Structure 1
Amino acid sequence: MFNQNKNTPAGYWLLTVGSYRILVHRRGSFAALALIAALIVTAGLSLVWGVEDLSLVSVFFNAAGLGDPMHVFLIQELRMPRLIAGLATGFALGVAGCLLQTLARNRLATPGIIGIDDGATAFAVASIVAVPTSLAPSALALSGAAVAAALAFGLSGAAGSRGYRFIVVGIGVGAMFGALTNFMLARAHIDSANLAYPWTVGSLNARPPEAVWVLMAGLLVCVPCAKYLARALNVLRFSDAVAQGLGINLRRVRIYTLVVTVILTALGVAVVGPVGLIALAAPEVARHLAGHQGVAVMGAGLAGALLMLVADWAGRSLFAPIEIPVGVIMAAVGGPYLLWILLRQPSRRTE
């Protein structure tokens, strides 16, 4: 139960569970509830509205396999899988962006900007058009993300996990993998290139269910790990000397955080493709709603899922029957947002 006494810090609730006591941040809790409520409303609208509008009551019956067979097919085979894929990928990319931004102490350090998205995309495309294998694109995407992260982390040096140095090296790594992707698509047969196209722009249309299940399994493992790392990352926002003085093993925390980020990014890209601006915007939304308290891992995940659903719904509804991929919608919105970040903090300290 929640208690409040004179020893409880301002802005917190004291949650007592048996012999355990947990401090719960009030504004962060309200922010999470608001994001969950917005997610529920957006998910309902995405199932109801589209080229074929349905009532909310019919959606429940159609989801259970009852009603008009065409509407049952629309909900069970098209909109529901798309909704699940959007929720999972948005949550994964939001958490990955939060972890990497906190690790690098820079709001621009996201998987898309430092090349992890491009590495995952290049390997996923290669599994289809260049060296077709029995491995699923999700497995190759994980390998590509790991290679890109290792290159960015290694080439930027021991201190490269901080500031603009890590970002600049990551941009170079991403450009290299982006060029490789374009080369493979240019040399591929037209049918293979069309099959690989969704992995280059970001789309939730007809996503492979196996990749979605793998992503959900990865979330079950990585999200608790991210929450566990958040406490150390919260200290890591200060200088290295302060973090070490508080008993934080910097090398171990950085490596573990990078591993979790790579897994979440790779599995997300294997489903939806490169929608890196979700990882840029979602943590900022979560920090703003929570009052910049701590490392908002869950808030960033919820905000990422919400942004993904809104962008996907807009892409398939605003210009219906023409569908705009979710990656294009996020680029149109996220591009000005990135410029706003750059112009708003021109004097940010670099290393």
Structure 2
Amino acid sequence: MTSAAVRTPRGTQVQRRGHRTALLSGCAVALLLVLALISLTRSEIPLSVSTALRALVGQGDAGEVFVVQEFLAPRLAAAVIAGAGLGVAGSLLQRLFRNPLASPDVMGITGGASFGAVALLAVGASQTLIPLGALGGGLLAALLLGVLAWRSGLGVTRLVLVGLAVQAGLAAAVNFMVVSFPAELAGSALQWTTGSLYGRTWPEVWGAAGAMLLALAFAFGLHRKLAVLDLGDESAGGLGLNTSTARLQLLVTAITLASLAAALSGPVGFVALAVPHIVRFVAGPPTPGTLALTGLAGAVLLLASDLVVQHLLPVEGLPVGAVTATVGAPWLLVLMMRQGKPVNRSTA
């Protein structure tokens, strides 16, 4: 049998996976567009699709234009951007640490981002600076994690447990600051306790969106290094990759994505944890295409959860983090029970 004959089935399998990923990505985009139209048309003043789209570009009744452009559209954009960032960040961390439990919310990064954002609110900083505060808080959480775990040489599972402790401690600090705020600031800071997309404004969205696009581009640019790291440090080093530098680049990128997402949504849990596993289950081994699909799936999940909060639950004002936590908590329990079994494959 010739070498070409041996390679043909494998090449065909790769092509099929690529086609499946492209099909799934197309479905995710279509679903995201449908959810976006629902988000723009379902409010206290129901709008038709054509009316909502005209209002989105500034045409039609002034009241409808104001509602769509200043309330509905920023919340929609924040959900899409934050969901995509959380999905990709979770995928990077799970592959980097080779552990299905590794995610920004489990490891304390989103808690740190919330702490940084609320700290800026406490000193009266502008809302446009919130992404910077969130990024600083996420890096602080990573530093705490490094001091408490990495220097002690703990395993990855222990690292995740330390991350949960860091997350809980920072959440307590956020709660303390919120209850200490004057009444006029407490409302705007309350979203940082559980995660919420309510009240997003265009200055916040544009600031986080620009930085998020750069971080996403950097993440995709690092995918080849991540694929080499999947082979193991020894093999990666043999191929000429500086594993320490590559890991640091990937870690900072994941922290940046998660922190910027938290700047828009607060500490929304379990999106970054569950989405990479779902994508791997339906799309197969990790590729640049599945990483893009992970971002799309994160956007779909967070936007869908926000629509459930707004329109399907009888309780008004419920934060979107309550819905994602309700869905994600059983998922976390399943993953922790599976930790006793060997895991030899990377997540998407």
Q: TM-score range by the shorter chain?
A: 0.7 to 0.9
Q: Aligned letter for 1:310?
A: A
Any unmatched runs of 5+ in structure 1?
Answer: 14-22
1:342 aligned residue:
336
RMSD: 2.6
1:10 aligned residue:
12
1:107 aligned residue:
100
1:265 corresponds to which of 254, 258, 267: 258
Give 1:323 shift: 3.2
Any unmatched runs of 5+ in structure 2?
Answer: 1-6
| CA deviation string 1:35-89 (max 9, x = no partner) | 1121112111222234433221222222233333332222222111111111111
**Count of residue pairs the alignment pairs up:** 336
| CA deviation string 1:94-126 (max 9, x = no partner) | 111111111111111111111111111112112
Rounded Cα–Cα distance in structure 2 between residues aligned with 1:49 and 1:188: 33
**2:12 partner SS:** coil
| Runs of 4+ residues over 4 Å off in structure 1 | 5-8, 158-162
2:57 aligned residue:
64
1:35 aligned residue:
28
1:75 corresponds to which of 68, 71, 74: 68
Alignment partner of 1:309 is 2:298: no
What is the TM-score of this pair, normalised by structure 2? 0.88
**1:10 partner SS:** helix
CA gap 1:140/1:334 in 2 versus in 1, 3 angstroms: same
Identity over the aligned pairs, expressed in percent? Answer: 36
8 Å CA contact 1:93, 1:264 repeated in 2: yes
8 Å CA contact 1:46, 1:83 repeated in 2: yes
8 Å CA contact 1:274, 1:327 repeated in 2: yes
CA gap 1:321/1:57 in 2 versus in 1, 3 angstroms: farther
Structure with more of its chain in helix, by fraction: 2
Stretch deviating more after TM superposition (319-328 or 177-186): 319-328
Give 1:273 shift: 0.5
Matches within 5 A, 1:123-202: 123-129=116-122, 131-133=123-125, 136-157=129-150, 163-202=156-195
Rounded Cα–Cα distance in structure 1 between residues aligned with 2:154 and 2:28: 30
Rounded Cα–Cα distance in structure 2 between residues aligned with 1:55 and 1:161: 56
**1:136 partner SS:** helix
Matches within 5 A, 1:283-322: 283-294=276-287, 296-319=290-313, 322=316
Give 1:172 shift: 2.4
What is the TM-score of this pair, normalised by structure 1? 0.87
8 Å CA contact 1:105, 1:162 repeated in 2: no
